[in-house]
Amino acid sequence: MSAPSERPGRLGVGIVGAGRVGAVLGNALRAAGHPVVAVSAVSQESLERAEMLLPGVPVVEIPEVVRRAELVLLAVPDDALAPLVTGLAATGAWQVGQLVVHTAGRYGTAVLDPARSAGAIPLAIHPAMTFTGTSLDLHRLEGCPFAVTAPAAVLPIAQALVVEIGGEPVVVAEAARGLYHAGLAHGANHLTVLVAQAAAALAAAGVDDPGRMLRPLLEAALDGALRAESRGGGPGAIAALTGPVRRGDAGTVAEHLDVLTGLAAATGSVDVVEGYRALARAATVRAVAAGLLDEAAAQRLLDALAGSKEDR
């Protein structure tokens, strides 16, 4: 294990995976005073990223990264994490007292049990943001919420690391990590799909720049929903719902389904129809539960959503 930095409490950091997350967090840790002693990078893209964000840091094989580091940051895809930790344990790579930190949203610290059995200290931190893998991400880390999971005795270490790089630690229980990650993925990833579907409809309607058309509306809708959710209590984000479902306009919803079905027939974009129907149903159910829509109006909407004009 490498010698600690001359500054008190500084740790020699090894980065396993110079992907979008690993290289950026490595840069942030170095800016906080922790020397980055080694990094692993396989693809040409990751090599270039390491050179850009971690200049001068030796690029070595994974076992050598672990050997040199006091804090090992595992920034690898979720499905690769468990085999990596187990494989390193099988070779005796983990060291007593070594901090092992992973960034996978899906997992808590149980996935690090092979390292823990060897005497390492397991920590899980997950930044709730998307990464570009460039220096732009460093500014976005400021105030970014990080899910933090660790055994109680070492939880303050994980929290301190997050604070040092400018983030805001939010403790998430081990058993809740899967649900936590599902919530983030459903919101962020499926929002991207929703935007793509809406843009496809606008493009088919002859709008030259769908993104420009959507931006003010979607930004206002997202801001309103998040503000409503942040206020706590009451109906939450659904209170910001607008549009035909909120008004109970079943005829408009039926028309939307018909024209989107036509779009699907012309372009093969069946997912747009399915997505609209599923989300409109969910909006109806939540609007009723929040007291924003009466039962009769909701039933008319659900009837309209049962199928297109050809199906009814």
Asked whether the beta carbons of 117 and 89 are under 8 A apart, the reply is yes
* Model confidence at 8: pLDDT above 70: no
Reading the block at residue 99, the tokens are: 């901090």
Cα→Cα distances 39→18, 28, 54, 242, Å: 7, 14, 9, 49
Q: What is the mean pLDDT of residues 23-50?
A: 96
* Model confidence at 3: pLDDT above 90: no
pLDDT of residue 219: 96
**CATH number at 13-172:** 3.40.50.720
* E strands in 21-70: 36-40
CA–CA dist 165, 143 (Å, integer): 9
pLDDT of residue 312: 43
Q: What is the mean pLDDT of residues 229-238?
A: 88
Q: What is the mean pLDDT of residues 122-127?
A: 98
Q: What is the pTM of this model?
A: 0.88
